Amino acid sequence: MRVTEGGVELEVPGEQTEGVEESVFYNPRQELNRDLTIATLRAYREREDRAETYLDAMTASGVRGVRAAADGWDVTCCDVNEEAVDLARTNLERNDCEARVEHRNVNALMHEGVFDVIDLDPYGTPMPFADAAIGNCRDLLCVTATDTAPMCGAHFNSGVRSYAAVPQNTDYHTEMGIRILISALARSGARFDVGIEPIFTHATSHYVRTYLELEHKPTAADAAIGELGYIYHCEDCLHRETDVGMIANPLETCPYCDGSRLLTAGPVWLGPIQDTEFVTAVRDEIPYTFETAPEARELCDTLAAELEEPTHYDQHKLCKNWGLPANAMDEFLADLQASGFDASRAHYGGTTFKTDASVGEIRAATEDNLV
Ligand SMILES: C[S@@+](CC[C@H](N)C(=O)[O-])C[C@H]1O[C@@H](n2cnc3c(N)ncnc32)[C@H](O)[C@@H]1O
Ligand SMILES: [Zn+2]
């Protein structure tokens, strides 16, 4: 079947069933991810004009490589699957795009040479590729992780194995996934004296995507390790607090409800997950010709306004816990702000928000209007 995406045309084996394309080599549900990747590459090149080479490390149909090559990047596409490699070659030709195409295990390829930008887009966890990628990427590492259940703590042992950290299943599970993933990448980087700085990160229920700017310097690696720490979370009242450092000091009882059902997660990344100015630049690089433009732009707007707090709340879950009805989000956030707290919506869902207020402070600031 034939697919058009971001101005390029692809041939992918598979069929359209009820209007939905189905192919092992092309996932239409990842179009938002790819549109944002192209916008990020554009914004990044505006900022760092030395960035030229792009490795589409797991190319499948070649779609990322084709789109990047059409944008002027010096592209290498790689896949371990022979059929994928043939398909990528065909799709590059179809669009008159030039790129190197490698039929390799990309870990071996990455150890042989340096790329300015590396894009890891595997099935499941990216961690088996993290060391080779961080050691051999000069500027920007783009990472997708689709193993949301392990990262969020829902498949606990798998999460511990992949990320060498303790994830916990909380009401902010997708953000737990983001912070577990970035923590593991920061620790991979540190082994090579490379510091990471997340400049753009987003999550959906199906995957996490983060873009890390790398700095090859021991002090930068130290700075990244300095952003790691622990989250202590009360399962009864949803109170949470964080502690920077590599040694955990778990709470024994909850300071808000006195309960003892406390979870400790970590080491997680507690630092910023966006560079707000960069997110705005990405937004401005999304043309309306991209199929997902309205959604992608709205996502960037929400991300740019999202507070830097390490966890978010879900208004409906808090209100349910308090036995009170939820009111409109704007009114709820306005009440928090009127009480002197910072508050913003969050991109994790329509009822999610961030604030510097504690659970007790949130309730005191909002409950008069929860009727
Ligand atoms: C999720 S797909 C990639 C999708 C593609 N990037 C896109 O945007 O449509 C994952 C691809 O990784 C490839 N892959 C898995 N292990 C690999 C390895 N060690 N080296 C290179 N490619 C690998 C698979 O063959 C598969 O084509
Ligand atoms: Zn509590």
In which region does residue 144 sit, left (phi positive, over 0), alpha (psi from -120 to 50) or beta (all else)?
Answer: beta
Q: At what angle do helices 359-366 and 329-338 cross, to 10 degrees?
A: 100
User: Domains, the chain, ranges and CATH?
Assistant: 2-228+267-305 (3.40.50.150), 313-369 (3.30.56.70)
Looking at this protein, which amino acid is placed at residue 293?
A: A
Complex confidence, ipTM: 0.99
Q: Which ligand is nearest to the CA of 232?
A: 2
- What is the best residue among 33, 80, 117, 131 to mutate for testing ligand 1's pocket, by most ligand atoms within 8 Å of CB? 80
**237 belongs to an annotated ligand binding site:** yes
pLDDT of 138 reads 98
Residue 38 CA to residue 35 CA, distance in Å, equals 5
**283 belongs to an annotated ligand binding site:** no
Residue 356 CA to residue 240 CA, distance in Å, equals 11
- Each residue's pLDDT, cut to its tens digit, for the chain (371 residues) gives 899 999 999 999 887 666 665 678 899 999 999 999 999 999 999 999 889 999 999 999 999 999 999 999 999 999 999 999 999 999 999 999 999 999 999 999 999 999 999 999 999 999 999 999 999 999 999 999 999 999 999 999 999 999 999 999 999 999 999 999 999 999 999 999 999 999 999 998 799 999 999 999 999 999 999 999 999 999 999 999 999 999 999 999 999 999 999 999 999 999 999 999 999 999 999 999 999 999 999 999 999 999 999 999 999 999 999 999 999 999 999 999 999 999 999 999 999 999 999 999 999 999 999 98
The protein residue whose alpha carbon is closest to atom 4 in ligand 1 is: 60
Ligand 1 — pocket residues by CB below 6 A? 26-27, 30, 34, 58-61, 63-64, 78-81, 84, 105-107, 121-123
Under 8 Å between Cβ of 225 and 190: yes
Which H helix or E strand runs over 16?
strand 15-17
**100 belongs to an annotated ligand binding site:** no
- Nearest CA to 303 among 371, 209, 231? 209
Residue 77 CA to residue 73 CA, distance in Å, equals 12
In angstroms, how far is the first alpha carbon of the chain from the final one? 54
C-alpha 79 to ligand 1 mean position (Å): 6
Provide the 8-state DSSP code for 172.
Answer: T
Which atom number of ligand 1 is nearest to the Cα of residue 128? 19
Residues 6 or more apart in contact with residue 157 via CB below 8 angstroms: none
C-alpha 58 to ligand 1 mean position (Å): 3
Question: Which long-range contacts (C-beta less than 8 Å, at least 24 apart) are formed by 80-89?
Answer: 80/104, 80/105, 80/106, 83/13, 83/25, 84/25, 84/59, 84/60, 85/59, 87/11, 87/12, 87/13, 87/25, 87/60, 87/61, 87/62, 88/59, 88/60, 88/61, 88/62, 89/62
Half-sphere exposure in the Cβ direction for 7 (13 Å, CA): 14
Q: Give the angle subtended at the CA of 44 by the CAs of 42 and 46, to the nearest 5°.
A: 70
- CA distance to 186, 257, 354, per residue, from 243 (Å): 17, 20, 18
